[in-house]
Amino acid sequence: MGQDNDSSAGMSRFEPQKVWDPAIRIWHWMLVFSVVSGWLLGEFRSFSTMQWHIYAGYTTGILILFRIVWGFIGPPPVRFRALAVTPSTLKKYAGKMLRREPSGAAGHNPVGAVSVILMLVLLSVQVLTGLFSEDDALFFDGPLASMVSGSTRTTLTAYHQLSSKAVLIVVLLHISAILFYLLWKRENLVKAMITGWKIVRK
């Protein structure tokens, strides 16, 4: 009983607030779809699906450009200045990360901010290298592959394949973090990105 009272008292320090705007929520789920479909179409590619893989890449690229623009003109929680973290900020947050309570951040917590930046960088590399990549097995080239030399295409193709593995790792870490926050910290990040409402410290 005492533990339940402590839990209720702890949660009373938080309240739901509307944090995520409709544009960023739609952007987020569109990015999920374009990245997952693009990865699957590339990993299990065939001649008949490669063009769809490229379309997914175009979509991801457009979404990245939108996020860059929105990072400057969007609401405060999604602006790039809200994603700026320092080593001391990360260290401070890491010290209390295992507490069984929501992060309480009115936006991304420091670890989440780092993951957003990392994901945007990796996806940008993935899209840009894909434009110049080639697939000799399927006789398929990226739309800008003819603009660079054969050796450059080979190098960029290798980077494209490497970055796809890095994206997969980050996505799996992202899913693991969602489960950690849901099961341990009692914070439903998926619901927040659907409704826009997030548990924030008062």
User: Per residue, what are the HEC states of the chain?
Assistant: CHHHHHHHHHHCCEEEEECCCHHHHHHHHHHHHHHHHHHHHHHCCCCCCHHHHHHHHHHHHHHHHHHHHHHHHCCHHHCHHHHCCCHHHHHHHHHCCCCCCCCCCCCCCHHHHHHHHHHHHHHHHHHHHHHCCEECCCCEECCCHHHCCHHHHHHHHHHHHHHHHHHHHHHHHHHHHHHHHHHCCCCCHHHHHHHCEEEEEC
What pLDDT sits at residue 202? 85
- Angle subtended by helix axes 150-183 and 22-43, to nearest 10: 120
What pLDDT sits at residue 10? 60
What pLDDT sits at residue 141? 87
Residue 62 pLDDT greater than 60, yes or no:
yes
113-136: pLDDT as tens digits = 999 999 999 999 999 999 999 987
**Which of 6-10, 107-111, 149-153, 197-201 shows the lowest per-residue confidence on average (mean pLDDT)?**
6-10
All structural domains of the chain, each given as residue ranges with its CATH number in brackets, are 19-201 (1.20.950.20)
Alpha-carbon distance of 108 to 147, in angstroms, equals: 40
> Percent of the chain beyond pLDDT 90?
81
**Residue-level length of the chain:** 202
Residue 111 pLDDT greater than 70, yes or no:
yes
**Neighbour tally for 146: CB within 10 Å:** 10
Question: Rounded mean pLDDT of 16-31?
Answer: 97
Model's pTM, two decimal places?
0.89
Question: Rounded mean pLDDT of 93-102?
Answer: 91
Q: Indicate the pLDDT class of residue 139, thresholds 50, 70 and 90.
A: confident
What pLDDT sits at residue 2? 47
Q: Indicate the pLDDT class of residue 12, thresholds 50, 70 and 90.
A: confident
Alpha-carbon distance of 189 to 2, in angstroms, equals: 28
Residue 5 pLDDT greater than 80, yes or no:
no
Mean pLDDT of the chain: 91
> Percent of the chain beyond pLDDT 70?
94
Alpha-carbon distance of 202 to 68, in angstroms, equals: 30
